[in-house]
Structure 1
Amino acid sequence: MSFNLSDLETHIQAHGAVVRVLVASTKGSAPRDAGATMQVWHGGQSGTIGGGALEHQASLRAREMLTQGTGAMHITQPLGPTLGQCCGGSVTLVFERFSAENLPTTLTRMFTRPVAHDASADIPALLQRRINAAQKAPISPTLTAGWLAESITQNTTPIWIFGAGHVGEALARNLAPLAGFDITVIDTEPARIPADLPQNITVLTAQNMAALAKHAPDNAQHFIMTMDHAIDLDLCHRLLGKASGFIGLIGSKTKWARFQSRLKNLGHTAADIQRITCPIGNPNLGKEPQAIAVGITHALLLKRTELESSTDIYQGQGT
């Protein structure tokens, strides 16, 4: 995970001062991995560092910082009897108080800063070497001698959901709290899109959704689940005609057989048509909209984990 400046800005605009709590590193068994965060403000919080007693104590400490105006600190917490937990490991947490006055505005690839009162004035040489070695690759949070380095959230996966019906809505709500996804929901009428979708979801309406598809990023993952099979077919046709990432189509084996025949008649080769996955989801989970959405979300998370594992050169390192 990485430092999400946009998300932090949103919380500050809504609540004023916010304390961001980060799992900087873990040892042994821990409820969340390095990079997990939560934001705490007077009267509420969002995100999670693992729940239970650890999160409760961290929330109390964060609210003390809000009251006292403390800037930043870090602690290492054993997950043992003192918390009434038996995980057996330990976590290092970084607490930082952000407001409109100290919110960073010029971040590019990396956010490096002191998070301890006794940190040196300059970035430690060991941490600088790690940053230099990373070059353009992301790194997990790295805490060294009171200095913290985090990659900036940049490489999100665009998710375009065509159709805001039961499955489309369930998928959007599943993905909204998860890091690494930039979600867009498209339908033909505003009334078809739930008004209470999470704020980080982009909502678009277009009478001709297939024409809108050409504006999607080339690496977007597309999920076609409209109320109209003709629209579904047109979307498949348009998306096969442009550079695009994954194309998923909701439907039965019978629907897919008919679509393959029609797409062939529209001039697409068999190899091109096989770029479309249909049905989508995990059939073992059931046919309820939420079950289909869970299956899709699971597949996306597996892919996200593969990408993170292949690019993250420092995973949860700290000293």
Structure 2
Amino acid sequence: MSFDRETLTRAVAEHGAVARVVVAEVKGSAPREEGAAMLVWAGGQSGTIGGGALEYEAAAKARDMLADGGDDRLDRMPLGPALNQCCGGAVVLLSEVWGAERLATLGDGTVIARPLPGTTGEMPLSVRRILNRARGEGFRPVPRILHGWMVEPVTAPMRDIWIWGAGHVGRALVSVLAPLPGLRLTWIDTDAARFPDVPEGVVRKIAANPADLVPDAPGHAEHLVLTFSHALDLEICHRLLGHGFGMAGLIGSATKWARFRSRLKALGHADGQIDRIRCPIGDPSLGKHPQAIAVGVATEVLKAKTAQNSQKERAG
């Protein structure tokens, strides 16, 4: 998890001052991990720190902060004794009030570090080293409390996912993937009328022949091909094999893939390269409803995090 500066900025612009509640520390079993956060304002909230009594209590305290103009607070909460939850662990929640003026102090760094309520003195050397590594090496620490300071990486897209097709499955898939952190979605089709309302943060691309946009994709991008046309699907796969990609998946049956393999081989692609495209994608046991297909494909996407990205998130 990470500090989502863009979402916080939008919330402040819409609601004025908002409270951000982040799980700063976890001991034992807890509903969410360190870095999980929610935003709270007078009439609502977004995000979650796990629901249940913990979230209800934290949201109420956050609204009291906003109403009273109170200072940031740090709450150490044993989940069993204090809230009668069955998790059995304990969490430390950091609640901070953010407004436009405070946001302006963040700068453009990739790591947010600030003292916890009650902490005084200069920034510890350990925190300074993390900030230096972030600037010099692109290091991304895990969210945590370190010597009285809260350290969080800023949310940044870790993976580029290109979704080819705005039909029923494409729409369902975007609705599932768009809220997830760390993904930058690019959504392609032939006509603006084929798109519903595009979720905030999703890049929409339109081309009479979407395959012509393949050269625009980063070489590390992951592709999900599910257009309305088998011929277009084949052309996109053909061009992706010539362009390079991190991952490529094609919607379809085993029969469709056997036909595509034969045609891609006739177009000059070696078996080893063709085998990099996965088809079918998703989980057939979930059924053929667009949302069911999307859930299966999204599960594969989440499981396909590279070892490099996972290591970056765990480092530190």
Superposed, 1:88-103 pairs within 5 Å as: 88-103=88-103
Partner of 1:48: 48
- Deviation, structure 1 residue 163: 0.6
Partner of 2:196: 194
Q: CA deviation at 1:130?
A: 5.7
CA-CA distance at 1:29 after TM superposition: 0.9
1:54 to partner: Cα distance: 0.5
2:139 to 137, 140, 159: 137
Correspondence list, 1:186-265, <5 A: 186-195=188-197, 197-265=198-266
Q: CA deviation at 1:107?
A: 2.6
**What residue is the counterpart of 1:287 in the other structure?**
288
| Equivalent residue letter for 1:29 | S
SS at match of 2:93: strand
Deviation at 1:296, TM superposition (A): 1.6
**Gap regions ≥5 residues in structure 2:** none
**Residue of structure 2 in register with 1:72 after alignment:** 72
- Structure 2 partner of 1:37: 37
Q: Match for residue 4 of structure 2?
A: 4
> Structure 1 residues 215 and 129, CA, compared in 2 at 3 Å: closer, same or farther?
closer
The letter for the 1-side match of 2:261 is Q
Return the structure number with greater relative CO, CA threshold 8 A, min gap 6. Answer: 1
Code of the aligned partner of 1:206: A
Question: Kindly tell me: are residues 245 and 314 of structure 1, through their superposed partners in 2, closer, same or farther at Cα, counting changes over 3 Å?
Answer: closer
Cα shift readout 1:220-260 (whole Å, capped 9, x = no counterpart): 11101011111111111111111211111001111111111
Matched, 1:122 2:159: no
Say which of 176, 182, 198 aligns to 2:184: 182
Q: Structure 1 residues 132 and 106, CA, compared in 2 at 3 Å: closer, same or farther?
A: closer
Q: 1:106 corresponds to which residue? A: 107
Residue 13 of structure 1 corresponds to which residue in structure 2?
Answer: 13
- Contact kept in structure 1, 2:34 and 2:144, CA below 8 Å: no
Residues 141 and 152 in structure 2, CA contact (< 8 A), matched pair in contact too: yes
Q: Per-residue deviation at 1:307?
A: 4.7
Contact kept, 8 Å, 2:157 with 2:181, in 1: the verdict is no
In the alignment of these two chains, the number of paired residues is 313
In the TM superposition, what is the alpha-carbon distance from 1:206 to its structure 2 partner?
1.6
Bigger shift: 227-236 or 200-209? Answer: 200-209
Give the AA of the match of 2:251.
Answer: I
Q: CA deviation at 1:311?
A: 2.4
How far off is 1:201 after superposition? Answer: 2.0
* TM-score with structure 2 setting the length: 0.92
Residues 96 and 115 in structure 1, CA contact (< 8 A), matched pair in contact too = no
Contact 1:23 1:94 in 2 (8 A): yes
Residue range with higher mean Cα deviation, 300-309 or 158-167: 300-309
Between 31-40 and 1-10, the greater mean CA deviation after superposition? 1-10
> CA 1:164–1:299 in structure 2 vs 1: closer, same or farther (change >3 Å)?
same
CA distance in 2: counterparts of 1:16 and 1:219, whole angstroms: 38
- Give the counterpart letter for 2:68 in structure 1: Q
Moved more, 86-95 or 105-114: 105-114
Q: CA deviation at 1:213?
A: 2.0
What's the CA shift for 1:185?
1.6
2:161–2:184 Cα contact (<8 Å) kept: yes
Q: Tell whether the 8 Å contact from 1:140 to 1:314 is kept in structure 2 after alignment.
A: yes
Q: Deviations over 1:7-56 (max 9, x none)?
A: 21222222222211111111111001111111112211111000011101
Alpha carbons of structure 1 residues 309 and 212: separation in structure 2 relative to 1, 3 Å? closer
SS in structure 2 of the partner of residue 113 of structure 1 = strand
- How far the C-alpha of 1:125 sits from its partner, in A, is 3.5
Q: Deviations over 1:87-143 (max 9, x none)?
A: 110111111111111114523231111231x21231124444566677533221121
Displacement of 1:184 in angstroms is 1.8
In structure 1, how many angstroms separate the alpha carbons of the residues matched to 2:111 and 2:49? 22
Counterpart residue identity of residue 56, structure 1:
Y
Quote how far apart the aligned CAs of 1:279 are. Answer: 0.4
User: Do residues 57 (structure 1) and 57 (structure 2) align?
Assistant: yes
Aligned to 1:159: 161
